[in-house]
Amino acid sequence: MATVFTVENIPDHVASYRARIERRRIAIESRPREKRFALAEPPPESKEFIKAMFDAAVFGDLRIRDDDLPNIFRAPSHELTAEEETLARVFRRAQVRLGREFIEAARDGDGDLVRAFMEEGFPMAWSEDRNRETALHAAAGSRARPAIRVLVQHWPDFLIRDRRGRLASELAYLYGEDPAMAHLLGIKERKDALATGRPVARRVYAYRP
């Protein structure tokens, strides 16, 4: 039976999700290193929670952004009841809080916690609208190699740029001061560029914006 999410019970679901992440982190710490490459499957309750949270937040974003458009341009399918819009906003706030925790784990170089988030189904390439910084950008700019080692094994798209148009390799060089990591990320960016036909132009590395 599907879980019913309400404004009242979302905080409890967020707390339960955080508790599962912590249990997962503890379990990861005890794994042999050679068994840390493949990601474990998220449990059904985490899958359901993450799907509901992102579906509601995206649907709510569409409706909220449509508020600024003339009526003729609004899509009727985006119309939400007051209750649905409130639920979408609450889910959106939960998503941002969890996303920031995930990115801070990457910035701090906590590879086990980063993996725990990923194994509990949190989208690894999540970024906040205000800066488009991903976990890989945060880890690269902080020279957080333990987190980078986890992320690069499963990263979906190395050509993702932050709000200022910077690739992870640029942040590794400019702010992480880690030319070797910048080189590794650059190789992966070029492979993605060749595979997808997208450009991989970088800013001048000596320029610190």
In a domain, 73, yes or no: yes
pLDDT in tens, the chain (209 residues): 789 999 999 999 999 999 999 999 999 999 887 767 789 999 999 999 999 999 887 765 544 444 444 444 444 445 667 888 899 899 999 999 999 999 999 999 999 999 999 999 999 999 988 999 999 999 999 999 999 999 999 999 999 999 999 999 999 999 999 999 999 999 999 999 999 999 888 765 544 44
In a domain, 59, yes or no: yes
pTM of the prediction?
0.86
Cα distances (Å, whole numbers) of residue 15 to 8, 22, 136, 176:
13, 11, 25, 33
5 within some domain: no
Note whether 145 and 153 are within 8 A (CB).
no
201 lies in a domain?
Answer: no
Give the CATH number for residue 103.
Answer: 1.25.40.20
Q: What domain range is 184 assigned to?
A: 10-196
Whether 123 maps to a domain, the answer reads yes
Tell me, yes or no, whether 2 lies in a domain.
no
Flag whether 42 is in a domain. yes
* Alpha-carbon distance values, 93 to 39, 51, 88, 117, 128 (Å): 27, 15, 9, 17, 11
Domain count, the chain: 1
Count CA atoms closer than 13 A to 32's CA, side-chain side: 2
Instruction: Answer whether residue 3 is part of any domain.
Output: no
